[in-house]
Structure 1
Amino acid sequence: MYIDPHAHMISRTTDDYEAMAKAGIVAVIEPAFWIGQARTNVGSYRDYLAHILGFERFRASQFGMQHYCCIGLNSKEANNEELAEAVMEILPGFAAKDHVVAIGEIGFDEQTQLEDKYFRLQLDLGRELDLPVMIHTPHRDKKRGASRSMDIIIEHGVKPEKVVIDHVNEETVREVLERGFWAAFSIYPHSKMTAPRMLEIVRSYGADRLIVDSACDWGVSDPLSVPKTAMLLAEQGISAEDVRRVTYANALSVYGQSGQMREEDWTKAAPVDQREKYAGNTILRGGQSPRVEDARN
């Protein structure tokens, strides 16, 4: 079994869900995210958060997968102060809903003053709600951004063991681990982190507090990155226990602190029944036969 703890499934197809479930992914976590173009008003943000908490959770269930969310204002849109202020007013209500396992993904993009302001406010929200936090580290000037993020987290009294620093690479992994945070690696086909590079990270640092994710979205990315990386690690001699930790157990440990994510959610889940509907809608189209299970395999 695998967990993909960073997957933007709103941008993926039903084929992706089918392939992920077939590959052994039992749960995904969907962080609130930039949609590729600027949102123009808080209403579009409200609808987006409602979608990933509602229909996307239903859609995952129709393929036998559990779906969880992180709620937050992304760093790009923190630079639109009018929008950011309005989003901050609605975030607490969404963050208190079922299946929300963290505040995130939040952090820095261009490392502006406004990004700093809303990063701090959302850290305070996570602490108030006693939720883990998922941190987006910038793709430019990553080392400075990661160090600055961790400094601010400590300053705001958020415990490192409740924080996942994501998009970690060789440049940032040592500091993340030495300061007591969880280190997550987004495995991409050509950028961010690749599976062979992840193999060397595990060889160098072990499996403690390391997490593999796909960060799959609307761009060139691979929703099967987690099982593919697990396969490579196993083939190259990493122990079965360590493979399990970086592709399953560590994610469950940190996000399970929310009280919203438990192994029983998928080991004791109801059978798949694609006759079910969400707000009157089904994932099936005309003439398609529903998948109906009598019992979990």
Structure 2
Amino acid sequence: MIDSHIHSDTRPYEDFENMAMYLDCAITLAHDPLKPYSMDVIRAHFDRIIYNEIERANKNGLKLFVCLGIHPRMIPPDVNYNMLREYLKRGIKYNKKNINKNEKYIVGVGEIGLEKCTREEIEVFEEQLIIAQELNLPAVVHTPRRNKKETTKTILEVINSLGLHKDTEKHMIIEHCTKETVPMIYDTNMNMGLTVQPSKLTPMDAVKIVKEYGGERFLLNSDSSSAPSNILGVPKTVLKMKINGVDSNIIKMISHNNAKNIFRLDV
């Protein structure tokens, strides 16, 4: 099983060990842990994820991969896209440096997206989508708790307006989907993240969505963070799916194969 969306820097050592008992790996993403006074804060956040979190997880038996990006709640006043681009390239070089060990760390751009749909958020989102396409990396797109349906509509409009390569959509994950937003995304080529978290979906909510739509293009995650979270949200949802008669091939798709293929993971 793969938890395709966590924020490991908010979790204690003990969580890694517990997750490692059930998961093949997890993907940790950039978020908004500090007030973004400048790009230096962003850089420090990225450094922590790459050079601290991977080691913390590995010491406790959890294989961890990384997505980097500027979260819509973490936009600094001196936002610098070239710096972000170079930082991602530096991360990709870090992948290549470790290639002899079969290790790959930077696997995507994220968590990016919209929170309040301001002009600034939209510009930063657009630039990061372009960077993801340039670097041939998947993009993980945040949708907020409030005004989710309206914001998801705006996100889809922004993506469509950029005229990105047709294959780019296949490597996008629209996160924190609900029964209201899945129909909006299902007819595109984009993927849908199902977040099992106390304030988002319950395991049974995810079961109902998968029973209606199947497993193609869905990914399971816990979004484990500083918010109320269940670090075992993915394995608990898999168990609920088994109990409720979801086909084993569909379960494997949404809990492992789709994430493995989209992020090109060796697990």
Aligned position for 1:152: 158
- What does 1:162-181 align with in structure 2 at a 5 Å threshold? 162-181=171-190
Q: Determine if the alignment matches structure 1 residue 262 to structure 2 residue 266.
A: yes
Q: AA paired with 2:170?
A: E
- Paired with 1:68 and 1:91, the residues of 2 have a C-alpha distance of 18
Contact 2:38 2:77 in 1 (8 A): no
- What does 1:185-224 align with in structure 2 at a 5 Å threshold? 185-189=194-198, 191-224=199-232
Partner SS state of residue 262, structure 2: helix
Aligned position for 1:73: 70
CA-to-partner distance for each residue in 1:29-57, whole Å, 9 max, x for gaps? Answer: 1111011x413232222121011111211
- What does 1:133-152 align with in structure 2 at a 5 Å threshold? 133-152=139-158
Q: AA paired with 1:199?
A: V
Partner SS state of residue 159, structure 2: helix
- Paired with 2:263 and 2:152, the residues of 1 have a C-alpha distance of 20
Contact 2:6 2:223 in 1 (8 A): yes
Residue 201 of structure 1 deviates from its aligned partner by 0.3
Residue 179 of structure 1 deviates from its aligned partner by 1.1
Aligned position for 1:278: none
Aligned match of 1:90 in 73, 83, 104? 83
Larger Rg: 1
List gaps (5 residues or longer) in structure 1: 264-297
Residue 131 of structure 1 deviates from its aligned partner by 0.8
Aligned position for 1:62: 59
Aligned position for 1:124: 130
4+ long deviations beyond 4 Å: none
Contact 2:31 2:74 in 1 (8 A): no
Q: Determine if the alignment matches structure 1 residue 251 to structure 2 residue 259.
A: yes
Aligned match of 2:24 in 23, 26, 31? 26
The alignment's TM-score, normalised by the length of structure 2, stands at 0.90
User: % of aligned pairs identical?
Assistant: 26
Partner SS state of residue 25, structure 1: coil
- Paired with 1:160 and 1:89, the residues of 2 have a C-alpha distance of 23
Aligned alpha-carbon RMSD (Å): 1.3
Q: AA paired with 1:108?
A: L
